[in-house]
């Protein structure tokens, strides 16, 4: 049983794209269940995306244990609705998926420093629950400092980061890979391997294409035994 947290430097940086690509690869090459957990959702988007992609796949077990209407940090969203923010359902969903599937992909919220409660961040949760993580960094100006800062946060919180995946969030990003996100410099500054990059996608609806994208990553390092 393996569990991997897909986290990022911020919201809208490509966590859902990477999670979907890894899940699509698993479906293409593994004949066994896959657990898919969104820690919690504030606003709309990720659950709907996963249901659209994997809703017809009986081998994918999707759980989104906490949902809030407002697209803001969960403690603020819960406060707006007059709700308490109890992490017990999230932990129970994780344990259920870990018992049911050999691989569980956990998509985080926001960046590693995003609050999940008034006292805990995503990094704290990853440490307390023993989750290995991969960091998604968008290919944009400022990406190097974002990567360095988040790796420092992970080190401080004692989160084990497996590596970094670069994501082209815009059509022009691929042309600036060497200027905005030079692989050797990021690896030198963070001490982590860059495991590949995700191309810009206008749509994430093609499972076969998502699987091909995942195949171009260093999957053997990220998830040993996953590579076909």
What DSSP assignment string belongs to 176-219?
GHHHH--HHHHHHHHSS-EEEEEPP-S----HHHHHHHHHTS-H
88 part of the active site = no
Catalytic residue among 38, 58, 88, 227: 38
Q: How far apart are CA 33 and CA 171, in angstroms?
A: 34
Q: What is the DSSP letter of 88?
A: H
- Rg, Å, the chain Cα set: 17
Query: Three-state DSSP class for 173?
Result: helix
Which residue has 């400022």 as its token pair? 142
Can you list the alpha helix ranges (DSSP code H) found in the chain? Answer: 15-29, 46-54, 74-80, 88-100, 122-128, 143-157, 177-180, 183-190, 207-215, 219-222
Q: Give catalytic residues, as residue numbers.
A: 38
């Amino acid at each position: 049983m393996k569990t991997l947290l897909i986290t990022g430097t911020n919201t809208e940086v490509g966590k859902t794209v990477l999670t979907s690509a890894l899940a699509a690869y698993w479906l293409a090459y593994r004949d066994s269940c896959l657990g898919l957990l969104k820690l919690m959702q504030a606003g709309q988007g990720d659950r709907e995306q996963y249901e659209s992609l994997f809703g017809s796949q009986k081998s994918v077990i999707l759980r989104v244990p906490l949902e809030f209407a407002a697209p803001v940090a969960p403690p603020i969203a819960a406060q707006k609705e007059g709700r308490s923010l109890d992490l017990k359902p999230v932990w129970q969903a994780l344990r259920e998926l870990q018992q049911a599937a050999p691989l569980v992909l956990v998509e985080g919220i926001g960046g590693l420093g995003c609050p999940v409660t008034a006292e805990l961040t995503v990094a704290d949760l990853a440490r307390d629950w023993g989750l290995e993580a991969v960091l998604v960094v968008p290919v944009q100006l400022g990406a190097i400092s974002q990567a360095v800062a988040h790796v420092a946060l992970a080190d401080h919180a004692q989160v084990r980061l497996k590596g970094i995946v670069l994501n082209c969030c815009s059509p022009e990003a691929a042309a600036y890979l060497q200027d905005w996100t030079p692989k050797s410099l990021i690896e030198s500054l963070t001490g982590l391997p860059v495991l590949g990059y995700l191309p810009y996608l206008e749509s994430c609806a093609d499972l076969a294409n998502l699987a091909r994208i995942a195949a171009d990553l260093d999957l053997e390092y990220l998830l040993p035994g996953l590579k076909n």
